[in-house]
Structure 1
Amino acid sequence: MTTRSKPLTAMLTDPMGGSLGLSLPPGSLVTETNDGPWPEPLLWVAEGVAAPGTWAEYVPARDVGLQPVLLQDESGIEEWWDGELDPGMMSDPGGHHAEEVLKDFWESAASETEENEDDEDAGETIAPFTGSWPGLAPPGSTAADPDTTAADVAKALVGHSLKSPRLALVPVGRAADILAAIGWSGPVNYENDVARLCAVLRSWEDRFGVRVVALSYARLDLSVAAPPQTLDEALAVAAEHFAFCPDNIWQGYESIRVYAEEALVSNPHWTFWWD
């Protein structure tokens, strides 16, 4: 049985968050999908569309245990965050180790890639790597402020990649755990337990200053305060991305090398999309 979120429980009778020191716009609580008599409040979602600076405006909510994130529903029906969230299906992110998770993912994705490649193209997709897990990338060497970077990325996304996002506040200690805390099922065709992805996000928080900025039905947007600065650094990170979300390479780039060159070098914004 999950423990009720104190901040969200307070907002049941105080929807503007005044007792928490917040001044929220009109919004509502989204509850857990279960058959119990008292569904668990999972997150608060604003009614109106977020402005470019909205994410940054609510960073102080972290002081009361609420992490800001932008939610985008391409269809406008809100189905995936109202009735489709089930954190009870997820394990604890703290029970997983990032490298073990990535190694497992890498071996599966590399094997599937090998099966689908023609003989003349064998090995090109994952080159310069082979089927063996190459290990974790070193931490980023040039770091900006993670919150400033996240605010800049969120501002750039609103109105462009995110046409009509809504601000949400999630009761979790660190942004990396948002996916499991709300029971997000975006990568369900690839991974049912997003707590394993959260373990990787925790590691990226520590090594690259990553922040979870936005979620949609099957898309995840991260800000990156310490992105790779050279091709060699980017290749090591790209290997992790291939393990984390093979569709990034399979459906958008010819190879890990091209992905590293075009999507990762000095880029403070990482996007993942699962088919």
Structure 2
Amino acid sequence: MTEARELRSLVGSVDLPPGTLVDRTVLGGWHEPLLWRADAPAGPDGWERMLPVRDATGLWPVLLGRHGRGTSVEDDLLPESGPGDGTGGGLDAGDVLARWWEGHAAREPDGAAALRPFGGRWPGLAPSAGTVGDPDGAAVGVARSLVAHGTLLDPRVALVPVRRSADVPVAIGWTGTLASGEGAAPFGAVLRSWEERFGTRVVALEPDVLHLSVAAPPRTVREALAVAAEHFAFCPAVVRQGPGSLARYAEKWLLGSGHWSFWWD
């Protein structure tokens, strides 16, 4: 694993645009830099341009967006155990999602209808997609779209000392999931599982939104329903504030979609 103490030297070993090593958190300064962030706004190819740097250094790129109120991702960092530690604490993604499903389903006012065909019963993890194709290519496409369409406000490209993309939010102490009342590690466990089963990449973080690219999205309604159940457990707002039911979410938002986004409020 790339250690955070190496970040300064790794950043200095490659040709990068002007940038800043971020070592501040909501509780004050951190003992080592958590990430490097470019000073200038990212263009549509900002994430893609960092792939050679990743290959040379092991530092993973991510786009950081700003909130409409002016808050940036790096204004609210709160790492739990230190940079580079985004492993999910040895937690099992299936166990995590089953526990979350049970809690969210119990609070669903019309659970039998909204959660059809599963109701209150956790259906288990969706099957792996098998071959995940080209995760980097999928990430390049989502990153370009997020910037070109103005989805991200004032985006900056950042580099994070982690072994894999799924570990980025936990490693830097991203606080977007705080409203869930859960610690960061369970979310890291699920992100790792999605990376392995569907070829996801953490492409961008806003203060309260997580954007993933998906190399192997569900291709049938049945596959999409299984993934929709995981999304509801992970972030019920995508169903409750979106289409209102798992079935509509699966068909309208997930089927063939290479971009998953989540928010907690």
The 2-side partners of 1:224 and 1:49 are apart by 24
The alignment partner of 2:177 has SS state of coil
Instruction: Report what 2:208 is aligned to.
Output: 218
For 1:150-161, what aligned pairs fall within 5 Å after superposition?
A: 150-160=139-149, 161=151
The 2-side partners of 1:92 and 1:193 are apart by 13
Relative to the length of structure 1, the TM-score reads: 0.87
Return the letter of the residue paired with 1:213: V
Aligned-residue identity in percent: 50
Instruction: Report what 1:46 is aligned to.
Output: 38
1:229-268 Cα shifts (integer Å, max 9, x gaps):
0000000000000000000000011200000000011111
Paired residue for 1:253, among 226, 243, 247?
A: 243
Q: Which has the larger radius of gyration?
A: 1
1:39-70 Cα shifts (integer Å, max 9, x gaps):
32100111111000110110123231210000
The alignment partner of 2:162 has SS state of coil
Return the letter of the residue paired with 1:68: P
The 2-side partners of 1:228 and 1:172 are apart by 28
Instruction: Report what 1:139 is aligned to.
Output: 128
Gaps of 5+ in 1: 12-16
Paired residue for 2:114, among 104, 109, 125?
A: 125
The 1-side partners of 2:146 and 2:92 are apart by 31
Instruction: Report what 1:101 is aligned to.
Output: 96
Gaps of 5+ in 2: none
For 1:170-181, what aligned pairs fall within 5 Å after superposition?
A: 170-181=160-171
Relative to the length of structure 2, the TM-score reads: 0.91
The 2-side partners of 1:69 and 1:36 are apart by 23
Contact 1:4 1:40 in 2 (8 A): no
1:93-144 Cα shifts (integer Å, max 9, x gaps):
142110011011111110111xx33xxxx51111111212110001125643
Instruction: Report what 1:65 is aligned to.
Output: 58
- Over 3 Å counting, the alpha-carbon distance change for 1:141 and 1:65 in structure 2 is closer
The alignment partner of 2:179 has SS state of coil
Return the letter of the residue paired with 2:175: S
Let me know the Cα RMSD of the aligned residues.
2.2
Contact 2:58 2:163 in 1 (8 A): yes
The alignment partner of 1:168 has SS state of strand
The 1-side partners of 2:31 and 2:22 are apart by 9
